[in-house]
Structure 1
Amino acid sequence: MFRRKSLLWWTVFAGWTLFGVVLSVETLTLRNAAAPGTGLEIGHALRTGLASAWLWVPLTVGLLALVQRFPIGRDRIALPVLLHAMAVLAIILLRALAVYALNRWIGWYAELPEFSLVLTASVAKNFLIGWLIVGVAHAFLYYERSNQRERHAVELEASLMQTRLQALSAQLNPHFLFNALNSVSELVHRNPAAADRMLVSLGQLLRASLDRSSVQQVPLREELALLERYVDLEKMRLGDRLHMHWEIDRSLLSVPVPRLLLQPLVENAIHHAIAPRLQPGRVVVGVRRSGDELVLEVHDDGQADPAQPGNGHGIGLANTRARLRALYGENHAFELTRTAGDDGTVARVRLPLRALELAA
């Protein structure tokens, strides 16, 4: 607060000093042009001009403080207007008293007139300036309040967006756990030893997932490491029926991506394209750069049509779409389409690399 007050005083002082210099030069020029023989001294002109200007410094700060404390608004008009009017009248009187008391040293008048004449001159010179300062003070006050409301709106929007992202992220862990436990339950009676191994692996996987549950973005290498643990779980359940292929541009491993972005896509491919059939199936995970975009793809060779309702595309994909919208707005793409030749489905996510690199 002290720094702001100090800055205010210095700003007001600098402004009135500049005004005083301009006024002095203007007075000197006009006097000498009107009466060339009089030879008004520049020292006298500067002394009177700067003295008049500097008298305004404390008065201006006082008016600014009064406006800050009692601004004119839609809900308060009468009292602030009355207070500002009284302040302007007090300024007129104070400046008249100051001129009357300091004239012998400053020299505004060659011969000091009666106080009534000095007061009349003060009314003519200072009434408009006083109200002008009140108006400028209100303009700055309303501008500052407008900026504060805008900042608060932006902060509120960011807070609400963060809350929404956290809620969406919180949905992923129970959904992920539910599906993983379903996979374990399929083996409990058929292959207890494999089910036991899956439970151990599931515990490790959930621990790794929950350790970063409050983080929205992680490096690609962490996302792939978590995904590999999930794939290992599914391989215990599906055995040779699941063939995984990885096509990763390793130069992109440090690029941040949304946490648990790929896992729901791979889970969707496995559960709806590989698990329902008896013959082996393939899932390809690809990460590459395309111009200024990061492209992440999950391609399966199943026959499930993602466009058909009731195909099981539930919270995982809906959550992914919502999180991408929350994180990137319209500056991303998420496609779920059949491949050419009807040999599978591709889930493709395009993210702006520039935004990702800035977030790193």
Structure 2
Amino acid sequence: MHRPTLPPLRRWLPHYLGLLLGLGLLLSLAAWQDYRQAGGQQHWEPFLWEFSSVAWVGPLALLIHLTIGRMRDLAWPWLLLGALGFNLLHVSGMFALRFAVYSLLDQPYQPDPLPDLLLYEGAKDLVSFGLIVGISRGIWAVQQANLQAQELERTRRELAEAKLARLSEQVQPHFLFNSLNLIAEVMHQDVERADRLLCDLAQLLRQSLAAQERGLHRLEDELALVTPFLHLMQTRFGAERLQVQIDVSPEARACMLPALLLLAPVENVIKHDVARHQGRVQVQLSARRVLDRLHIQLDNDGVDQPPPVDGGLGLRNLRERLAAHYGDLARVDFGPADRGMRLRLELPASRDLA
């Protein structure tokens, strides 16, 4: 855990000097009222007295603040020693400044008797020292709490990013292995056709790697991955057996979503439906933006025996990725529809790239 430090001078020094100036003026005006009532004639004297005190309290308060920030524990002996040192430095510096100004102005200066002076200034300095210590500890405590909150947020974000990376990495090998298995079947029947499929697959893998590095991209970019994959599978199974319909509005195409989000569900349609049945299967992918929500729907029909409603690992991966990105703002529904299955996704319709 890092310890808090002082912010850059330009951020706090002007405010601190303004605070000292305001404090000096406030004390000076109060002392000036008493000075006038007592019959004083040199109206600048109350201002010199108070500003000579503030001029030393200012740097001493900073020194105390820095010392407290470096100390883990403030034991009573250290506090008493600090209070004594604060009093000695404050009184000696304050009166040295006063005597210097009076000497320059060629004016006499007669302070109170030493016992009264030490008692009066000692009591004030003890109170001032206590206030400075209390305020300083409060400032450091707030800074430490903010630092801990920032580190906690950074840790949470890093964990979320690591989880998303793990979930994203699960998609590509699964998709790759199933695609290679499909191509391997064609290899024994039509070598040229299998070669074309391998070229298309290589291009698709390059695009998916680039998408995975981005993390988030537009639905338009996701379709640029899904569409070639569907064409690849149509080449494998034939356009009559696998029919594809994509209907996505321009507003939906501009919305952001996690990269490779739809590739796994589409791949599962091929794996569970087309590859296991001899009949015609129609895959329909549609998306609309409704107000601030993006609605995506993936349908497949023509399947006599649809897959289990739980959807397996692919659906769990999908749910976890959406939960990691959007929390409770995303919704996933999966279940039977007509003679096939329907996957519905609903998530925030964001256009931000960050």
Aligned to 1:246: 246
Aligned to 2:291: 291
Instruction: Give the counterpart of 2:27 among 20, 23, 29.
Output: 23
- The residue type equivalent to 1:315 in the other structure is L
- The residue type equivalent to 1:324 in the other structure is L
CA RMSD for the aligned pairs?
A: 2.6
Q: Secondary structure, in 3 states, of the residue corresponding to 2:111?
A: coil
Q: How does 1:69-84 map to 2 (within 5 A)?
A: 69-72=70-73, 77-78=74-75, 81-84=76-79
- Alpha-carbon spacing, 1:237–1:137, altered in 2? closer, same or farther (3 Å): same
- The residue type equivalent to 1:345 in the other structure is M
Partner Cα distance (1:30, 1:258) in 2: 72
Aligned to 2:348: 352
Aligned to 2:90: 95
Partner Cα distance (1:140, 1:21) in 2: 25
Q: Secondary structure, in 3 states, of the residue corresponding to 2:217?
A: strand
Contact 2:265 2:315 in 1 (8 A): yes
Partner Cα distance (2:163, 2:59) in 1: 50
- Alpha-carbon spacing, 1:100–1:226, altered in 2? closer, same or farther (3 Å): closer
Partner Cα distance (1:308, 1:208) in 2: 31
- The residue type equivalent to 1:130 in the other structure is F
- Alpha-carbon spacing, 1:7–1:90, altered in 2? closer, same or farther (3 Å): farther
1:102: Cα distance to partner? 4.1
Contact 1:28 1:40 in 2 (8 A): no
- The residue type equivalent to 1:358 in the other structure is D
- Alpha-carbon spacing, 1:85–1:5, altered in 2? closer, same or farther (3 Å): farther
1:200: Cα distance to partner? 2.0
Matched, 1:157 2:156: yes
Matched, 1:51 2:46: no
Partner Cα distance (2:10, 2:245) in 1: 66
Deviates more, 1:111-120 or 1:126-135: 111-120
Partner Cα distance (1:192, 1:103) in 2: 101
- The residue type equivalent to 1:4 in the other structure is P
Aligned to 1:318: 316
- Alpha-carbon spacing, 1:157–1:197, altered in 2? closer, same or farther (3 Å): same
TM-score normalised by the chain length of structure 2: 0.88
Partner Cα distance (1:99, 1:190) in 2: 100
Partner Cα distance (1:337, 1:343) in 2: 11
Deviates more, 1:1-10 or 1:154-163: 1-10
Contact 1:288 1:296 in 2 (8 A): yes
- The residue type equivalent to 1:48 in the other structure is W
Partner Cα distance (1:324, 1:248) in 2: 20
Q: How does 1:106-117 map to 2 (within 5 A)?
A: 111-117=110-116
Q: Secondary structure, in 3 states, of the residue corresponding to 2:243?
A: strand
Cα-to-partner distance string for 1:251-274 (whole Å, 9 max, x where unaligned): 433322211111112222233233
Cα-to-partner distance string for 1:287-317 (whole Å, 9 max, x where unaligned): 11122111111111134445546xxx33322
1:179: Cα distance to partner? 0.8
Contact 2:245 2:285 in 1 (8 A): yes
Partner Cα distance (2:19, 2:6) in 1: 20
Aligned to 1:188: 187
- Alpha-carbon spacing, 1:225–1:113, altered in 2? closer, same or farther (3 Å): closer
1:331: Cα distance to partner? 1.0
Contact 1:169 1:213 in 2 (8 A): yes
State, as a whole percentage, how many aligned pairs show the same letter: 27
- The residue type equivalent to 2:17 in the other structure is F
Partner Cα distance (2:97, 2:179) in 1: 89
Partner Cα distance (1:253, 1:7) in 2: 44
- Alpha-carbon spacing, 1:71–1:6, altered in 2? closer, same or farther (3 Å): farther
Deviates more, 1:23-32 or 1:167-176: 23-32
Q: Secondary structure, in 3 states, of the residue corresponding to 2:328?
A: coil
Q: Secondary structure, in 3 states, of the residue corresponding to 2:272?
A: helix
Q: Secondary structure, in 3 states, of the residue corresponding to 2:186?
A: coil
Structure 2 portions without partners, runs of 5+? 103-107
Structure 1 portions without partners, runs of 5+? none
Q: Secondary structure, in 3 states, of the residue corresponding to 2:8?
A: helix
- Alpha-carbon spacing, 1:329–1:12, altered in 2? closer, same or farther (3 Å): same
Aligned to 2:105: none
Partner Cα distance (1:6, 1:231) in 2: 59
Partner Cα distance (2:290, 2:305) in 1: 28
Cα-to-partner distance string for 1:87-131 (whole Å, 9 max, x where unaligned): 210121223323443444567x96323333322221111111112
- The residue type equivalent to 2:53 in the other structure is S
Q: Secondary structure, in 3 states, of the residue corresponding to 1:357?
A: coil
Q: How does 1:111-150 map to 2 (within 5 A)?
A: 111-150=110-149
Contact 2:65 2:133 in 1 (8 A): yes
Aligned to 2:66: 65
- The residue type equivalent to 2:257 in the other structure is V
- Alpha-carbon spacing, 1:246–1:22, altered in 2? closer, same or farther (3 Å): same
Aligned to 1:201: 200
Q: Secondary structure, in 3 states, of the residue corresponding to 1:243?
A: strand
- The residue type equivalent to 1:268 in the other structure is N
Q: Secondary structure, in 3 states, of the residue corresponding to 1:112?
A: coil
Partner Cα distance (1:71, 1:11) in 2: 27
Partner Cα distance (2:221, 2:98) in 1: 79
